[in-house]
Amino acid sequence: MRKLTFKGFLAQYIKRLSYAGTVDLELLADELNSGNSRLTAPLLLYAVTHNKTSRLRSALTAKGCPEGIINMLSFLEESDVEELLENGSLPEEYLKVWNSFLVRQAQPDNDRDLKAALREKTLQLLKEKNCSNYRVYKDLNLNPGNVNCWLKNGDDSKVSYRTAEKIISYVMQY
């Protein structure tokens, strides 16, 4: 799986924040002007990272958006945005977007660590409760190869975090 980039994250984030679920700058400028203020920082960052500042500027101007938003777009366009975000030099709403990206980017590593801890606890409980891997995957209707590969070899790519939680919950109640 490819590592998440800030550019890719912003496209996903904009779609989630917008009412229309789009990255169409005309629609987003209209939405921003009609009161979806939480869209401001991510939209400006999106336009800068995707080299669409002139299109967004013209859309914002046509919709009659406040001059402060257009000025901020010009400032961001002339700056190294990621460096400003890493240094914490931008206003809080921009740093919130950056922090959301960092959390989302670290999620696979966090899931891997959590699944490893769940595996260790599951193995301990399986031994204590004298429960077999067979019983686990049969009763939970899971793929036997994936469950065994995770429990025996520690291959965390074989089960999701949700499945690992389901397994440990079952073993705790066994």
- Which has the closest alpha carbon to 84: 73, 72, 76? 76
Q: What is the pTM of this model?
A: 0.73
Which pair of tokens denotes residue 117? 């801890």
What's the one-letter identity of residue 106?
A: A
Q: What is d(CA 29, CA 53) in angstroms, rounded to the nearest whole number?
A: 12
Mean pLDDT of the chain: 92
pLDDT tens digits for range 90-107: 999 999 999 999 999 998
pLDDT at 24: 93
Percent of the chain with pLDDT over 90: 78
pLDDT at 1: 60
- Kindly list the domain boundaries of the chain, sorted by start residue: 6-90, 109-173
- Is pLDDT at 121 greater than 90 in this prediction? yes
84 pLDDT band, cuts 50/70/90, is very high
pLDDT tens digits for range 3-38: 899 999 999 999 999 998 999 999 999 999 888 889
Alpha carbon distance, N-terminus to C-terminus of the chain: 35
126 pLDDT band, cuts 50/70/90, is very high
| 73 burial level (CB within 10 Å; 0-12, 13-18, 19+) | buried
